[in-house]
């Protein structure tokens, strides 16, 4: 049977929202995370509820946007959203429970901190089994759902700003550019200067430098 592949730029990024609106569900939250792979800093999640008529041309997965465009979209989303919640779990929690569990905890926190009543949650990839609100897990949700895309941008900009501040304290690690990911310059800095409190002690190669 012939398969029809829809290009990502042709995907209706309001499909899931439209289906829920048709069921009389109006307060739909999108949840996404940023920062599962870095060696340093927290995992950050965002929960965003958008107005029914929200439109933002070019909004997609934050990783596919320039830093300038993310900042621009961040301001628009924060201004227009019905509610935004942020969840942050730092390196201590990540090392204690592992990055997957820490991400889920941060997602629960973001949903809890969202100030408006949520009727349904759209989540990028992950499942939150203990959530007391109906939810849908969507693979590549940050590309397929405008609400999750918005959450992706809020989480990304929030975390990037945190790493920019950390860069001011520890410029030798180049956090402003690598955002904590294991680039050559970052790893070489660990070899030369050792690790800082904000490094994730259970992540390689950081764990090799834990005394």
Instruction: Tell me if 28 sits within 8 A of 122, measured CB to CB.
Output: yes
Taking only the tens place, the pLDDT of each residue in 105-123 is 999 999 999 999 999 999 9
d(CA 122, CA 136): 5
Task: Please answer whether residues 80 and 50 qualify as being in contact, where contact means their C-beta atoms are separated by less than 8 angstroms.
Answer: yes
Q: 10-167 adopts what CATH topology?
A: Nucleotidyltransferase; domain 5 (3.30.420)
> How does DSSP assign 11-42, residue by residue?
S-TTHHHHHHHHTT---EEEEEEE-SS-SBS-
115-160 tens-digit pLDDT: 999 999 999 999 999 999 999 999 999 999 999 999 999 999 999 9
Give the Cα separation of 88 and 72 in Å (integer). Answer: 22
User: Which 8-state DSSP code applies to residue 209?
Assistant: G
pTM of the model: 0.93
Question: Of 82, 79, 99, which is closest to residue 71 (Cα–Cα)?
Answer: 79
The DSSP bridge partners found for residue 136 are 122
Q: Where in the chain are the domains? A: 10-167
Q: Are strands 120-124 and 83-89 parallel, antiparallel or unpaired?
A: unpaired
């Amino acid at each position: 049977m012939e398969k029809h592949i829809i290009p990502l730029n042709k995907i209706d990024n309001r499909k899931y929202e439209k289906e829920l609106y048709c069921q009389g569900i109006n307060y739909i939250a999108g949840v996404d995370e940023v920062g599962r792979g870095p060696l340093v800093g927290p995992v950050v999640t965002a929960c965003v509820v958008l107005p029914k008529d929200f439109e933002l041309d070019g909004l997609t997965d934050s990783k596919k946007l320039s830093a300038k465009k993310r900042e621009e979209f961040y301001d628009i989303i924060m201004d227009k959203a019905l509610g935004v919640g942020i969840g942050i779990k730092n390196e201590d929690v990540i090392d204690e429970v592992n990055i997957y569990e820490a991400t889920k905890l941060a997602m629960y926190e973001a949903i809890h901190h969202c100030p408006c009543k949520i009727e349904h949650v759209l989540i990028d990839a992950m499942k939150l089994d203990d959530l007391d609100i109906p939810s849908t897990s969507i693979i590549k949700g940050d590309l397929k759902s405008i609400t999750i895309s918005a959450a992706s941008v809020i989480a990304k900009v929030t975390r990037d700003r945190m790493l920019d501040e950390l860069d001011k304290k520890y410029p030798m690690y180049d956090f402003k550019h690598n955002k904590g990911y294991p680039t050559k310059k970052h790893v070489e800095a660990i070899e030369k200067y050792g690790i800082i409190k904000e490094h994730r002690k259970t992540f390689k190669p950081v764990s090799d430098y834990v005394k």
